[in-house]
Amino acid sequence: MNSRKVVFLFWSTLLVGSISGGIVGSFLNSSRLLEGGFANFFWGATWAIGISAAFSLIAQMGFFAYLTLHRFGLGIFKSVRLWNRIQVVIIAFVVFDLFYLRYMAFAEEGESIWSYMIIPVLLLVYGLVIAAIKAKATNRQAFIPALFFIVVVTSIEWVPALTANDPKWLWIYFAPLLAANTWQLLILHRLTGTGNEAAKT
């Protein structure tokens, strides 16, 4: 992948993360943004876009860190199948921790654990869908790495908001991370020319 494509990946990911986070942030703060006139709305929306841009930069660092980790894992275990099995175990561990540890840390007396399972389950389902799209566009071996990236790497990047346990900040932080990670995952094979169509030519 040449420098032009790297620059495209950087700026397009920044744009996707900024816009998605800006929309979600503006929506969640709509009552506050709309009560002070246009100037208040403008600066509030600008703040939401700016903070989302910062989160999308975190997503980009996580993406390249995972690409390095993936190559490192393949080099250590010398087997795609074994490395994929290890990733599946880590995925299960992270999904469990996403609801159990948060329940243990933040649940009030009498509060059900089921409410803490909604986000992890939805993230897993979303990851399965995106991983299936990635595998269809490239090859079957890409399914587990794609699922790992969406679920595990996104969760790690999301930790600062998870520890705060503020519902609004959970989504303001989560939206640009998930959008940026999805974009990077689904655009990479097009930039590198490693998709199914490229393999046929």
Residues 151-190 pLDDT 10s? 999 999 998 888 877 788 888 899 999 999 999 999 999 9
Residue 43 lies inside a defined structural domain of this protein: no
Residue 145 lies inside a defined structural domain of this protein: yes
Write out pLDDT tens, residues 116-132: 898 899 999 999 999 99
Say if residues 160 and 184 touch (Cβ distance below 8 Å).
no
Question: Above 60 in pLDDT, residue 66?
Answer: yes
| pLDDT of amino acid 196 | 63
Q: Which two tokens stand for residue 42?
A: 């403008």
Q: Which domain holds residue 137?
A: 60-200
Write out pLDDT tens, residues 3-60: 899 999 999 999 999 999 989 988 887 777 767 677 777 788 888 899 999 999 999 9
Tell me the whole-structure pTM to 2 decimals: 0.89
CA 152 to chain centre: 9
| pLDDT of amino acid 199 | 37
Say if residues 127 and 147 touch (Cβ distance below 8 Å).
yes
Residue 98 lies inside a defined structural domain of this protein: yes
CA 124 to chain centre: 11
Matching residue, tokens 């595998």: 135
Residue 1 lies inside a defined structural domain of this protein: no
Residue 146 lies inside a defined structural domain of this protein: yes
Residue 129 makes CB contacts below 8 A (sequence gap 6+) with none
| pLDDT of amino acid 90 | 96
| pLDDT of amino acid 45 | 81
The number of domains in the chain is 1
Residue 86 lies inside a defined structural domain of this protein: yes
Residue 28 lies inside a defined structural domain of this protein: no
Distance (Å, rounded) from C-alpha 172 to C-alpha 163?
14
DSSP code string of 25-49: HHHHTHHHHHTTHHHHHHHHHHHHH
Residue 46 lies inside a defined structural domain of this protein: no
Higher pLDDT, 100 or 196: 100
